[in-house]
Structure 1
Amino acid sequence: MNKDIYILQELGKQYAQSMADPVNEKRKKLHTAVNDLTPIRPIVLINEVPWNEFNHENALKLSCTNPYLRSVERTLRQILYQWNHFPGDMILPDYFSVPKIVHSSGIGIDVEEHTIATELENQIVSHEYFDHLETVDQLERLHSPVITYDYRETIRQFDLLSDVFQDTLPVRMQGLEYHVVPWDDIVRYRGAANLLMDLLERPEFMHAIIEKMTSIALDTIRQYEELNLFEPSQLSIHCTSALTSDLPKKDFDPDHVRARDVWGRGAAQIFASASPDMHKEFDINYMIRSLAPFGLNYYGCCEPLHTKIDLVEQIPNLRKISISPWADIDIAAEIIQRKYVLSAKPSPSNVASSQLDLQVIQKELAHLTGACSKNNCSYELILKDISTIGHNPENLVKWEKCAMAMVN
């Protein structure tokens, strides 16, 4: 245990030195300006890194033996490695966070699946889901979960790390985000083919499912508020920047953080295969209710939304729209302009090969930044969903340098 503590203290000193860098405050201003729709320049972020492909890097090798402290060591090493090699506009908060530990009783059904992995250490696997939401009887099993806050374990971890880091690195309990992505969940309960066929053949049944899932989401949001689980000082909302001068609200009470003090996020990736009319009928009409409690909202993930922005605009308090690699950036930028933050997602496939083609990357980034600049957009470049880097960490280093040169 003493060895583990020493290792974390040394890493904590490195983190403290990095978080004191004045560049953090400069980047906070950049993030805030983008999300306030008054950009200084676009920001660049890299998330969802395949750390399993960095296993030959000495700076990432773990030495702690206590399971919890080993997980803290892993977090610190990954943060510091990215800070030193491909930071983009990443921000280091002036504390180490201990997330509030939350348990859910579940909603009455579970996911059953078959997976195939190409690499044992890679979390990205192929999924085949078995249908457990096919009948009215199965639908009736759905119910709101009971959310409980494990304060005892959270404070135990907080106290332990406070003792470990002592005066070197402040430790802070961190609240949570809540994502309203019911169709992502329904896919996992049913399978994609069954879901899509029933949208056509059994629309009433699918309306009954999404109505139930909407009620579950609203009740979960209520419980998060009652348990004071939301994080009012959000740095991110699902891989994108969350800093804004518009949140939390002016009447904010830190002892009772409301949904209206934080960002909400919605998405319906399966509707990439659906028409705008079907997307509106089965998702947006329900998302309007589910996201209404939040102060600001971010909508979208991998689904191409360039032909559906007029639908997404119906969501209350909308501030940010995801424009994925499968969307037409020219159409999206022309429609969005300065009304919302355009969260542009360069293709992660461009860093997937062991040999990087910088010309391809430069061409894509020039297209994205050119379309956004032409239309006076407030935008961010988010490289995420990185399933592989061809086992070559240098790919992310080169991509980051290229992106930062482009936005500067």
Structure 2
Amino acid sequence: MEHISVQDRQILRQLAQKQLAFANSPRNDEILKQWDALANGRRENPTVRLLFSNFPNEVVHPRMRCEGARARELEEMLLSTMVGRELFDDDTPISPTFDIRWKTWVHPFGTQPHITKAEGEGAMGFHIDPIIDDLAEGMDLLRGGSFGVDRQATAELEEAANEAFGDILPVRKVMPSLTGMMTNPLVHLMGMENYYLSMYDYPDELHEAMDMATTVYEQYYDFLENEGLLLPTNGISPINQESFAFTAELPTENVTKTTQCWGFLESQETTAVSPDVFGEFVFPYQDRLAKRFGLLSYGCCERVDATWPDYLSKWKNLRKLSVSPFNNEQQVGEYLRGTNVVYYSKPRAEYVTNHGPLDEEALRAYFKGVCEAASGCLFEMAQREVGTIFGDFDRGRRYVQIARECIAEYWKP
């Protein structure tokens, strides 16, 4: 295991002390009460967060001081845990533990994609170089999905953290929501145009591909159960789409079955097809996986307003629904009002990413509409898809403050 220098260890311990202070603060207690209300179906005080996953080059990387590779890995994890609270004063809950995950993986298809990414720090663009041009001819490339766990790498990370600051922040293993993405990895192998054309040209082959991916995920879930790799998905543990697993419906210990865990599904790649086409080529396979979950979080950037009536509403274990700006937000609010499904709002990002000072008047007018749409719903707001805040932490903090003020004025429980 790589040695951590005295200097790097001191930096890590200072950060661990800072995280512990956040975790033990009265403000953290208030935030945990907000999440507890959502978990128990109480419409009280919606949470607001500004998520930085697309701009860590502005809020994490420039503040890193460690030199060793392992120390920098731990430092990045510590800093990332605290960004929301330290820089933006948002409603990110902080745990008095250092959380790591089992290093597991699952690949639903037997071939890996070829992706050309844009160069430069903070660049997010990419281009899919299709490996499959003709689905009928490329079926064999899809066969042979895989999954597994790297126990040694997990143990080495745990040991390094314990040795550096385990007396301050005990190491805790957490598990994110179980994933079951199928259309995304398929599009990464064949491109969007080929994927859409295959619905018409090769429907049987497309069904076969979706069935193969579903089977791999089902086998992966069996593997997690049989290998004792499942962990509670509750409290301050991650759910895909950068949320948290707070719930009163799932166990907090002794998890042995995937039906005791959160799962996550999405199909943003099919947002442009009709609900009937979604129902033919996607829903039956998602439905198989949804039955393996205790609770379900659904959606990324796709429209869910169109697929809710005939499909998504059928899942009785659905508890969190992503509502991106591509939806008729008022309509989704009508669907979810008074239910136990969280209206997980992901507002438009351009108000914070546009050049120049925040247009507070326009932002408040926009947030007013979001809050009115979500009134009567369990409501969680998380600003995702932000590419930059121009390195201006005050800008991010002000954005969160305005969101809170608009919720207080316009959202009605």
Structure-1-length-normalised TM-score: 0.90
Q: Could you say what the CA RMSD is over the residues aligned between the two structures, in angstroms?
A: 2.2
Q: CA separation in 2, counterparts of 1:280 and 1:330?
A: 23
Superposition deviation, residue 52 in structure 1: 1.3
Structure 1 position 329, deviation (Å): 0.9
- Give the superposition deviation at 1:93: 1.0
- SS of the residue 1:377 aligns to: coil
SS of residue paired to 1:354? coil
1:334 Cα deviation from its structure 2 partner: 1.0
The answer to whether the aligner puts 1:347 opposite 2:352 as a matched pair is no
Instruction: Report if aligned partners of 1:225, 1:259 keep a CA contact under 8 Å in 2.
Output: yes
* Residue aligning to 1:53: 58
What is the distance in 1 between the residues matched to 2:300 and 2:106?
25
Report the Cα distance in structure 2 between the residues aligned to 1:315 and 1:31, rounded to whole angstroms. Answer: 23
Q: Distance in 2 between matches of 1:236 and 1:166?
A: 21
Counterparts in 2 of 1:326-365, with a 5 A limit? 326-339=326-339, 340-355=341-356, 356-365=358-367
Which among 90, 101, 104 is matched to residue 103 of structure 2? 101
Alignment match, 1:74: 76
**Map of 1:307 onto structure 2:** 306
Query: 1:376-391 residue pairs with structure 2 within 5 A?
Result: 376-391=376-391
| C-alpha distance in 1 between matches for 2:146 and 2:282 | 25
Please state whether the residue corresponding to 1:313 is helix, strand or coil.
helix
Q: CA deviation at 1:316?
A: 4.6
- Whole-angstrom CA distance in 1 between matches of 2:318 and 2:83: 34
Paired position in structure 2 for 1:248 = 251
Q: Is the 8 A contact 2:179 2:265 kept in 1?
A: yes
1:206-225 aligned within 5 A: 206-225=206-225
Structure 1 gaps of 5+ residues are: none
Distance across 2 between alignment mates of 1:274 and 1:402: 36
Shift in Å, 1:202: 2.1
Superposed CA offset, 1:305-334 (max 9, x none): 112211211235111211111111111101
Residue 319 of structure 1 aligns to a residue whose secondary structure is strand
Q: CA offsets, 1:65-103, max 9 Å, x none?
A: 210111211222233343122132110012011222225
Indicate the residue corresponding to 1:19 in structure 2.
23
- Contact 2:43 / 2:378 at 8 angstroms: preserved in 1? yes
Distance, in Å, in 2 between the alignment partners of 1:79 and 1:207 is 40
- SS of the aligned residue for 2:99 comes to strand
What code does the residue aligned with 1:366 have? K
Alpha carbons of structure 1 residues 361 and 259: separation in structure 2 relative to 1, 3 Å: same
Q: SS of 1:232's equivalent?
A: coil
Change (3 A) 1:351 1:214: same
What CA distance in whole angstroms lies between the structure 2 residues aligned with 1:231 and 1:357? 44
> 1:2-401 counterparts in 2 under 5 A?
2-47=6-51, 48-54=53-59, 60-103=62-105, 107-117=109-119, 120-132=120-132, 134-136=134-136, 138-143=138-143, 145-234=145-234, 235-238=237-240, 239-248=242-251, 253-254=254-255, 256=256, 258-310=257-309, 311-339=311-339, 340-355=341-356, 356-373=358-375, 376-401=376-401
Distance in 2 (alpha carbons) for counterparts of 1:128 and 1:227: 35
Q: CA deviation at 1:104?
A: 5.3
Partner of 2:411: none
Decide whether aligned partners of structure 1 residues 45 and 228 sit closer, same or farther in structure 2, where only a CA change above 3 A counts: farther
Q: CA separation of 1:106/1:377 partners in 2, compared to 1, >3 Å: closer, same or farther? A: closer
For residues 208 and 107 of structure 1, the distance between their equivalents in structure 2, rounded to whole angstroms, comes to 12
Post-superposition CA distance 1:185-226 (Å, at most 9, x none)? 111011011111111232222111111111111111111222
Is the CA contact (8 Å cut-off) linking 1:35 and 1:378 kept in structure 2? Answer: no
Q: Deviations over 1:235-260 (max 9, x none)?
A: 331212320111128xx624x3x211
Tell me the secondary structure at the aligned position of residue 322 of structure 1: strand
Contact 1:176/1:229 (CA < 8 Å) preserved in 2?
no
Deviations 1:41-83 (A, max 9, x none): 211122225121347x9xx522212101112112222333431
Query: Partner of 1:320: helix, strand, or coil?
Result: strand
- What is the identity, as a one-letter code, of the residue corresponding to 2:264? R
- How many angstroms does 1:133 deviate by? 6.7
Over 3 Å counting, the alpha-carbon distance change for 1:107 and 1:205 in structure 2 is closer
Question: What code does the residue aligned with 1:347 have?
Answer: R
Q: Is the 8 A contact 1:88 1:404 kept in 2?
A: no
C-alpha contact (below 8 Å) 1:145/1:220 kept by paired residues: no
| Contact in 1 for aligned 2:55/2:386 (Cα 8 Å) | yes
The structure-2 alpha-carbon separation of the partners of 1:25 and 1:260, relative to structure 1 and needing over 3 Å to count, comes to farther
Distance 1:63 1:225, change over 3 A: same
The percentage of aligned residue pairs carrying the same residue is 21
User: What amino acid is aligned across from residue 277 of structure 2 in structure 1?
Assistant: M
Is the 1:288–1:316 Cα contact (8 Å) retained in structure 2? no
After superposition, the Cα gap between the structure-2 partners of 1:27 and 1:273, relative to the gap in structure 1 and judged at 3 Å, is same
Instruction: State the shift of 1:142 in Å.
Output: 3.3
CA contact (8 A) 1:145 1:216 kept: yes
Count how many residue pairs are aligned between Structure 1 and Structure 2.
Answer: 397
After superposition, the Cα gap between the structure-2 partners of 1:297 and 1:403, relative to the gap in structure 1 and judged at 3 Å, is: same
Is the contact between residue 130 and residue 189 of structure 2 (CA under 8 Å) also seen in structure 1?
yes
Higher mean alpha-carbon deviation, 61-70 vs 135-144, is at 135-144
Worse-matched range after superposition: 27-36 or 361-370: 27-36
Q: What's the secondary structure of 2:195's corresponding residue? A: helix
Alpha-carbon distance between aligned partners in 2 of 1:102 and 1:319, rounded to the nearest angstrom: 25
**Normalised by the size of structure 2, how large is the TM-score?**
0.89
Task: Note the residue ranges of structure 2 that are not aligned, 5 or more in a row.
Answer: 409-413
Tell me if the contact between 1:292 and 1:316 (Cα under 8 Å) persists in the aligned partners: no
